[in-house]
Amino acid sequence: MLTALNQGVPGSPTVVVFPHAGGSPRFFQHWRTVLPTTTLVGVTYPGRDTRLDESYADNPYGDDLLGLARSAADAISHAGIASPVLVGHSMGAYVAYEVAAALTRAGTTAVRVAVCGQNPPEDRPTTALHLADDADLVADMVRQDPDSAPLWQLDDVRSMFLPAVREDYRLLETYTPTATVVAELLVCHGDRDHEVSPDRLDGWRRHATRFHPPVALSGGHFFLKAPDAQLPRQLTTSFGLS
């Protein structure tokens, strides 16, 4: 489940990244050049990369977003990551928050979370695209990331990856939040991201003891694609990473 992206210097903080629906930790690989002394680890969801033959149904904690979060929290604990910085984008924002919630309930008190490109849990999506046909599901992904359109025109890509994307959408669209208060939380979004409501982002405040006001960075929903370095630099500013 945990994929090593960069080995930082001894004693450096560990940043754990959680990708968007249909995404992979590879989305964050370019952060190695921005945070060279920071240990960087990604969470790989079932149905892709090294977990291509796995599914959410294999998770003993359940096949929903909370089950995914609990299994990721276990993996982080078993890896000996004591004070992680959890960073989630889009769907990954909810996963990162719920991992922090699970770690908090287990007694970890120094978890820091950065959520990017996502409304607060109480304003989560009310769509049901995981039940839609393939064309509608692909259309929604292309709407959010027009650059992905040529990729989704390939039959092999659709047959291999669309089932995992559909499952990610199911987790997102059936998510029931725990409302746990975590230690520290930073909110970021693209200033042209139409997937979030900037006037509602302050609602994340109720989910953290220490809250960093929302930060608008330049770009749309997928502004953090390589080679963009705005988000890791914001982590450096807000959380003191290097």
Q: Could you give the CA distance from residue 82 to residue 12 in angstroms, rounded to a whole number?
A: 11
As beta bridge partners, residue 17 has: 42, 87
- What is the rounded end-to-end Cα distance, in angstroms, of the chain? 25
Q: Residue 176: name the closest of 67, 74, 86 by CA.
A: 67
Q: What DSSP letter does each residue of 197-238 carry, written as one string?
A: -GGGGGGGGGGEEEEEEEEEESSSTTTTSTT--HHHHHHHHH
Three-class secondary structure of residue 115 per DSSP: strand
pLDDT in tens, the chain (242 residues): 999 999 999 988 999 999 999 999 999 999 999 999 999 999 999 999 999 999 999 999 999 999 999 999 999 999 999 889 999 999 999 999 999 999 999 999 889 999 999 999 999 999 999 999 999 999 999 999 999 999 999 999 999 999 999 999 999 999 999 989 999 999 999 999 999 999 999 999 999 999 999 999 999 999 999 999 999 999 999 998 86
Do the Cβ atoms of 38 and 8 come closer than 8 Å?
Answer: yes
Q: What domains does the chain contain, in order, with CATH numbers?
A: 2-124+177-239 (3.40.50.1820)
